[in-house]
Every structure is written in structure tokens, then in C-alpha cells.
Amino acid sequence: MNCDDSRIYLLAYLDDELDVAESLRVQKHLSGCGDCRQAQGEHLALRSALRDPALYARPSADFSKRIEAVVRRAAKDEARSKRPSWFEWLRPGPFLWAPAAAALVVVATLGALLVMNRLRSSHQQLIASDVLAGHIRSLQANHLIDVPSSDRHTVKPWFQGRLDFSPPVPDLSELGWTLVGGRLDYVDGRPVAVIVYQRRMHNINVFLWPNHGSTDDAIRQEEAQGYQILHWNGAEMTYWVVSDLNNAELLELARALRGH
């Protein structure tokens, strides 16, 4: 385990959410790495500091009004100044601006989230961190698949009644992609389908949901925390593919999926 892995697992480790083997790997890394031990110490210090009852504060009634006004003004300025592409996603309705802008403020404040400069918009970065978190969670919590099956005729109907759309589940076995199943996940505030493929023991999570925006099937690639993230907007579905498999092979998979 290297430092990057150890930082990913650290919070789950501190919450006792890892299985014994993973816990031991983290422990072993911590015992040999001063930097990560320091990070662990900081998390623990932060935790105990946050338990201090003196931190509780009740906001006054007009405080939230002031915040809303500031956020609304910022959203307006932002829209006027550069009209970024995530703005498009926020249609149809001005009511969505405030919470979305507030979410962006929160994310910026946390600061520790992923840095993915090449993804085009803040909204896409939020989704990318959602799908990456979903991918990592599925591996950590042993919750990779809800419906284990290599048969697309089993996987596809399983989503019926669980989602308000029917995800395409192509059989790509002839191209060397083994279908292992599907599961539900939650991304960008909505339930989504995840189709899981494997190649040489690498798990590939394909997140998809209906694309209500414009079609843009140029495949964008990002690397974050050792994982590859691929994304495109098909005519019907929005796709996000995450795996630790190499970039070139994932691009093959993305092209195969795009063709379906």
C-alpha cells in the first residue's frame, strides 16, 4: 500500500469500516510512514475538536436569508460573466441555482476533494468525485454487485422497477469484457445504474443514467487517485466509466459501449 491508497482508506479505517485484511494493510503502512501517521493524528484531533459542545451555534433568523442573498447574487454574477457549461445543467429552473451554488461553495471550502482540472465544469467534477467515491465504496464494502450475472438477459430486467429508465446492458464478451453484474448507486442526487465488467481481475464500473442535456460523445478522460475516469454524453444515456485498468483499454471499452 502506498501513501495515496492509505489516504483513501484512512477515514474508513478510523471508522472501523474496513475488513480485517484491509485494516492490517493500513496499519502496516501507518507504522512505517510518518506522513500518513501525521495525517491520522490530524483526523483524530479534528474529530475530537468537533465534539466540543461549545461549537454548537444557532444561526439567527436573518442569517440564512443573508446567505441565500449572497449565493443568489454570486450565481447571477457567475452566469453573467462566463456562462460555464454546468450552468446548462441547472435548467430548468432558477430554484436549483441556490442549492447548487451552495454545494459548490461547500466543495470549494472543503478543498480536499479531487482536483480534476481537465474535466470541463465544476458540475462534472462533482459527478466525477461521486462516481469515483461510488467505485471505491463498491470495492471497499464488498458491494460491487446487487445482481451477479454474466447474462445480460438477467441483469437488464433486474433494473426494472428499481429505476425509472432501462439501462442498455450490452454483451461485450467477444471483445474481452466479462459482464459480472449490475447494481444501483446514487450519483448527482439521483439513483443510477451501474453495470460491472471485468478484464484480467480489474473491475470496471459503468455508471449510466438518462442524458437530458445535449449529446456530446467525445470521450473525456481523467486520472484521479490512481483511477481512470471516462465520460461522455450519448444520445440517450450519460456514461461514466471508472476503473484502475489502463487508459488505452478503457478507451476501447468506452468506444464499444458508445456503439450500443
Answer yes or no: are the C-beta atoms of 179 and 195 closer than 8 Å: yes
Q: Which stretch binds Zn ion (CB under 5 A): 27-35, 117-125, 182-190, 235-243?
A: 27-35
**In whole angstroms, how close is the CB of 154 to Zn ion at the nearest point?**
42
Between 42 and 164, whose beta carbon lies closer to Zn ion? 42
Q: Which stretch binds Zn ion (CB under 5 A): 2-10, 85-93, 157-165, 195-203?
A: 2-10
Residue from 8, 18, 36, 119 in contact with Zn ion (CB under 5 A): 36
The owner of cell 439521483 is 190
**In whole angstroms, how close is the CB of 34 to Zn ion at the nearest point?**
8
Q: Give the whole-angstrom CA distance, residue 68 versus residue 227.
A: 36
Instruction: Kindly list the distances between the CA atom of residue 132 and the CA atoms of 13, 19, 138, in Å, as whole numbers in the listed order.
Output: 18, 20, 10
Rounded CA Rg of the chain:
21
Q: Which stretch binds Zn ion (CB under 5 A): 28-36, 45-53, 70-78, 153-161?
A: 28-36
**In whole angstroms, how close is the CB of 222 to Zn ion at the nearest point?**
23
Q: Which stretch binds Zn ion (CB under 5 A): 6-14, 91-99, 127-135, 235-243?
A: 6-14
- Residue 33 interacting with Zn ion (CB under 5 A): yes
Binding mask 222-251 for Zn ion (x = CB under 5 A): ------------------------------
Answer yes or no: are the C-beta atoms of 259 and 246 closer than 8 Å: no
- Residue 39 interacting with Zn ion (CB under 5 A): no
Q: How many of the chain's residues bind Zn ion (CB under 5 A)?
A: 4
User: Cell digits for 180?
Assistant: 459480472
Query: In this structure, which amino acid lies at residue 60?
Result: S
Q: Which stretch binds Zn ion (CB under 5 A): 11-19, 33-41, 76-84, 200-208?
A: 33-41
**In whole angstroms, how close is the CB of 42 to Zn ion at the nearest point?**
13
**In whole angstroms, how close is the CB of 11 to Zn ion at the nearest point?**
15
- Residue 3 interacting with Zn ion (CB under 5 A): yes
How many CB atoms within 10 Å of residue 156? 19
Q: Give the whole-angstrom CA distance, residue 101 versus residue 161.
A: 33
Answer yes or no: are the C-beta atoms of 196 and 182 closer than 8 Å: yes
Nearest to 167 by CA among 134, 207, 109: 207
User: Cell digits for 185?
Assistant: 448507486
Helix H or strand E encompassing 72: helix 61-81
**In whole angstroms, how close is the CB of 255 to Zn ion at the nearest point?**
37
HSE value, Cβ hemisphere, 13 Å, CA-based, for 127: 25
Secondary structure percentages of the chain, helix, strand, coil, to 5: 50, 20, 30
Between 28 and 83, whose beta carbon lies closer to Zn ion? 28
- Residue 96 interacting with Zn ion (CB under 5 A): no
**In whole angstroms, how close is the CB of 128 to Zn ion at the nearest point?**
24
Binding site for Zn ion (CB under 5 A): 3, 6, 33, 36
